[in-house]
Amino acid sequence: MKITTRHAKTHQNIPSSKHHTMSSHHFFPCLLFLLLLSLHHSLSLAKRCHPDDEDALLRIKAHFNNATAFSTWTPQTACCRKWNMVMCKRLPNTKIFRVNFLEISGEEGISGVIPSAVGDLPYLETLIFRLLPNLTGPIPPAIGKLTQLGLLFLNWNDLTGPIPPFLSRLTNLSTLGLNNNRLTGRIPSYLGRLPNLGALWLYQNQLTGPIPASFGYLQNGTVLQLYDNQLSGPIPTSLGRVSFGILDIAGNQLTGDASFLFGEDKQQLNHLNLSRNKLSFNLTNTVMSGIELEAELLVLDLSHNMIYGQLPTWLGHASIVYQFNVSYNQLCGPIPTEGGALQKFDASAFSHNKCLCGAPLPPCTATHTRVPRDGQAGCWGQSKLVKVRFITSMR
C-alpha cells in the first residue's frame, strides 16, 4: 500500500558536481548565494497552490458548508503547505506543484454526497473519504476522471447505489476500499482486470450476485475481502489460478465446491475465511503448500458450511495454522494429531460436525475400525456396532 506522498524535493537542483565547481574559494560564496536563492525560489513555489487545485478544493469546502474540518483552507494560505488533509507533489521536470493527496477521514460535520469538485483535482493519486457516517448517495461520476489514482478509499461511510462502471477507467488503482457502506448490485467484472490492483475491500455492503470469474486474473498476493455481503452462486473455479494473500469471502450465500482454493501452489495464502456460506465439498484430498515455505497459513475458518470428508493431515502442522475453525460442518473421522497444531484449539473449533473425534474432542472409539456402511449410525465413535467391535478388538 502506498499512502505515502512524495513531498517536494526543493534541493533537487543542486549540482552533483559541486566538489569540482567549489574548488575556487572566490567562487564559493557566490555559488552558495545562488544556491540559496534558487532554494528560496523553489520553496516559495512549493508554497504556491495551483489555482485550479485551489478552486476545486474551495468548492469542496463550500459543498460541505465550510465545516470546521476545512478551517485551514483559506485563499490567504498555500494549499500545498498549510491546508490540512491535502498534500502536493512536484510534477516531474517542472516547478509546478499539484495536489496529489486528499484525505477526509473521521471529521465531524461532513454530510451530503461526495462533491463532484473532486473530479477537478486531476493529479490526485490518493483519495480518501472515510469514517464519515453522514456521507451519503452514490459514488459520483467525477471520480472516474481521476485516472492517476493509485489508492481510493471510500469506506466506513453511508454510500449507496452500485459499484459504478466508470471506476474501470482508474487503471492505476492498486488499492480500492469501498467496504462498510450500503452498496448494492453486482460486483462488476472489470475489477478483476484492473492491472495494478493488489487489494480490493468490498466487505460489509449489500452486494448481490456471483463473484466475477474475472477475479481469476487478479495478481498473486492479492488481498480480496468480500465478506458479509449477499453474494451467491458457486465460487468461480478461475479463482483457483490465483495465489491470494488474503481471501475472505465469508458471510455470503456461496454454494458448491471450494476445494480448488487449496493447493500446493497457494504459497502466499495466509488468511482464508470461507465461514458462513453454503459450501459443500470433500475436504479429504485438499492440500496446501508445505510448512517449509516462507508464507504461512495463519487463519483458516471454514465454519458454518456443509463441508464433508475428513480433516487432511497437512492441517496438523503447527506453523501453518494460527486461527482455525471447522465447526458446524459435516466432517468425520479423527482429528489429525501429527504436527500437533490442531490440538492447540479448543473443542469449539471442531464442534457440530457429523463425527469428528480425537483430541480436543473425545477420543475416537474405533479408530482402526471400518466405518459401517449401513444406517445413520455410520459415524466414528457413535455407532454401537463400532464400539462393540472396538471393545472386542481390545481384548
Ligand X SMILES: *[C@@H]1O[C@H](CO)[C@@H](O)[C@H](O)[C@H]1NC(C)=O
Contacts with ligand X by CB under 6 A lie at 62, 65-66, 108-109, 111, 133-134, 148, 150, 172, 220, 227-228, 243, 250-251, 265-267, 273, 275-276, 282, 284-285, 299, 301, 303, 308-309, 323, 325, 327-328, 345-346, 348-349
What span, in angstroms and rounded, lies between the C-alpha atoms of 57 and 119?
A: 10
Work out the burial of residue 319: count CB atoms within 10 Å of its CB; fewer than 13 is exposed, 13-18 middle, 19 or more buried. Answer: middle
What CA–CA distance (Å, rounded) separates 254 from 304?
12
Among the listed residues 172, 170, 215, the one whose alpha carbon sits nearest the alpha carbon of residue 196: 172
Cα separation values, 231 from 104, 140, 202, 236, 277, Å: 30, 24, 11, 12, 9
Q: To which residue does cell 467391535 refer?
A: 389
Q: What angle do CA 134, 139, 143 make, to 5 degrees?
A: 120
Q: In what order do the strands lie in the sheet with 86-90?
A: 86-90, 97-105, 126-130, 151-153, 175-177, 199-201, 223-225, 246-248, 271-273, 299-301, 323-325
With contact defined as beta carbons under 8 Å apart, do 197 and 191 qualify?
A: yes
Match 473455479 to its residue by C-alpha cell. Answer: 237
